[in-house]
Amino acid sequence: MKTAAFLGLGAMGVPMAAALARRAAETGGRVLVWNRHADKAQAHAAEYGTQAAALEDMGQAGVIFSCLPTSADVDEVIGQLEGHLNPGTVWVDCTSGHPDAAQSQRARLLTRGVRLLDAPVSGGVSGAVAATLTVMLGGPADEVEAVRGELAFAGKAVHVGDTGAGFAVKAVNNALLAVNLWAAGEGLAALGRGGVDLGAALTVINASSGRSNATEHLIPARVLTRAFPPTFGLGLLAKDIGIALDVVGGVRGSAPVLAQVAALTRAAAQMIGPDEDHTALLKLVEQMNAQEIK
Ligand code: NDP
């Protein structure tokens, strides 16, 4: 019987592990789940047919998935679990992590015969629920191909390069998310101050060249409605654009716009709150303009 394990039942982990469980039910496998606060693992088992277990039991799995806030959290869990790992296990880290950490974690786990791939995801909670996430994988091609069939939560899985490349691509993607959100917010705040109807403005922008996921989906559904549903934390977005700047620095690149938006996103996470939804970034734009975007 094939055994997979999932570590970290947060907003993303719950539906991702549920997708693994649906696949396991079809193929005669099983999915072990672990969460720092164990009650969430027990609730997951009751709802989705996974098996809640102690962290050290996760070492029985052939494939271990993790989805934690940061690479530092993954380091902590590796430290607790490494003595219980078996050679041949593959560790697929779906955290939006740091490329440098992927290198050091892979080297650390290889001493135990365990191969780590960085495999962050995009598509949000709704994509995880629908099992249509995009996975960006970093690592040796043969190892990526070997694990591709296990990614039951994926609609698309792309091998983007060597270890760390998955995390780098994810960080740049989310930096673009922050830039698009922030820039759209600035433009809409100005239009609002001038008395333009923002729904009408977005209808035009979304049929024109200024459109983005922020203008098409995030702002109409989350900002104009004032709902700001907390599915992806502002603190996590600030973390991601910070990693993107490290990626830029690592290749001695030049990215002044990303640096500016990174500083603004960090400020917003501190002022508005790291646990607020990432679209609450625009509350800082609103404060700067004394204008609600609604
Ligand atoms: P959440 O904050 O919802 O969940 C975090 C999870 O990590 C919880 O299960 C929490 O456990 C656990 N955790 C936190 N710190 C530790 C630690 N030190 N040791 C062990 N477990 C820990 O996060 P998300 O699910 O939103 O995000 C997870 C990752 O996925 C992040 O890297 C994020 O950037 C990325 N991501 C998020 C998306 C989203 O839309 N939310 C989309 C794409 C990527 P506990 O319950 O015990 O607190």
Q: Summarize pLDDT for 13-53 with one digit per residue, the tens.
A: 999 999 999 999 999 999 999 999 999 999 999 999 999 99
Closest protein CA for atom 42 of ligand 1: 124
| Phi and psi torsions of 3, nearest 5° | -120, 130
Residues 178, 237: Cα–Cα separation, whole Å: 7
Q: Is residue 12 lining ligand 1, measured as CB closer than 6 Å?
A: yes
Q: Is residue 237 lining ligand 1, measured as CB closer than 6 Å?
A: no
If you measure from the C-alpha of residue 66 to the centroid of ligand 1, how many angstroms do you get, rounded to a whole number?
9
Question: 84: closest CA among 106, 107, 104, 64?
Answer: 64
Is 294 part of a structural domain of the chain?
Answer: no
188 and 134 together in one domain? no
16 and 118 together in one domain? yes
* Segment 221-226 mean pLDDT: 98
CATH code at 61?
3.40.50.720
Boundary residue ending a domain (163, 189, 208): 163
If you measure from the C-alpha of residue 63 to the centroid of ligand 1, how many angstroms do you get, rounded to a whole number?
19
Active site residue: 170, 239, 283, 294, which one? 170
Instruction: Judge contact between 164 and 31, C-beta under 8 A.
Output: no
CATH code at 235?
1.10.1040.10
180 and 155 together in one domain? no
Q: Is residue 127 lining ligand 1, measured as CB closer than 6 Å?
A: no
Q: Assess whether pLDDT exceeds 90 at residue 1.
A: no
148 and 239 together in one domain? no
Boundary residue ending a domain (130, 163, 196): 163
Q: Is residue 73 lining ligand 1, measured as CB closer than 6 Å?
A: yes
Residues 202, 185: Cα–Cα separation, whole Å: 11
154 and 228 together in one domain? no
- CA distances, 30 to each of 3, 36, 152, 202 (Å): 5, 20, 13, 46
Tokens representing 252? 């001695």
Domain extent for 209: 169-289
67 and 189 together in one domain? no
154 and 250 together in one domain? no
Domain count of the chain?
A: 2
Boundary residue ending a domain (138, 163, 188): 163
121 and 189 together in one domain? no
41 and 143 together in one domain? yes
Is 277 part of a structural domain of the chain?
Answer: yes
* Segment 61-65 mean pLDDT: 98
The 10s digit of each residue's pLDDT in 78-111 is 999 999 999 999 999 999 999 999 999 999 999 9
Is 170 tagged catalytic?
yes
pTM of the entire structure? 0.98
Residues 28, 269: Cα–Cα separation, whole Å: 44
